[in-house]
Amino acid sequence: MEDEFNVTYVTLAGYVQVDEYRFLYFVIMLTVYILILCSNCTIVYLIWINQSLHEPMYIFIAALLINSVLLSTAIYPKHKQIISYSACLFQFHMFYSVGGSEFLLLAAMSYDRYVSICKPLQYPTIMNKTTVCIFLVLAWILPASQVAVPAALSANQKLCSFILKAIFCNNTVYKLQCVVSRAQIIHDMVILLNVALLPVLFILFTYTRIFIITYRSSREVRKKAVQTCLPHLIVLINFSCLCAYDVITVQLESDFPITVRLIMTLQIVMYHPLFNPIMYGLKMREISKHLKKLFCPAKMI
For each of the domains in the chain, give its residue range(s) and CATH number, in order of start: 3-300 (1.20.1070.10)
List beta partners, residue 10: 83
Distance from C-alpha of 25 to C-alpha of 126, rounded to nearest angstrom: 48
The full DSSP string for 259-297 is HHHHHHHHIIIIIHHHHHHHHHHHHSHHHHHHHHHHH-G
280-286, long-range: CB < 8 A, 24+ apart: 280/43, 280/61, 280/64, 280/65, 280/231, 280/235, 281/39, 281/43, 283/227, 283/230, 283/231, 283/234, 284/58, 284/61, 284/227, 284/228, 284/231, 285/227, 286/52, 286/53, 286/58
- Distance (Å, whole) CA 110 – CA 208: 10
Give the pLDDT of residue 252.
62
Q: Is 246 exposed, middle or buried (0-12, 13-18, 19+ CB in 10 A)?
A: buried
Amino acid letter, 266: L
For residues 123 and 47, is the Cβ–Cβ distance under 8 A?
no
Q: What's the whole-model pTM score?
A: 0.88
- pLDDT tens readout for residues 175-226: 888 888 787 888 888 998 999 999 999 999 999 888 888 887 777 777 777 7
Q: What does the alpha-carbon distance between residue 35 and residue 42 come to, in Å, rounded to a whole number? A: 10
Residue 7's pLDDT is 59
**Residues of the chain whose pLDDT is less than 50?**
1-5
Largest CA distance in the chain: 71
Q: What is the pLDDT of residue 2?
A: 42
* Amino acid 130: pLDDT: 94
3-state secondary structure of 127: coil
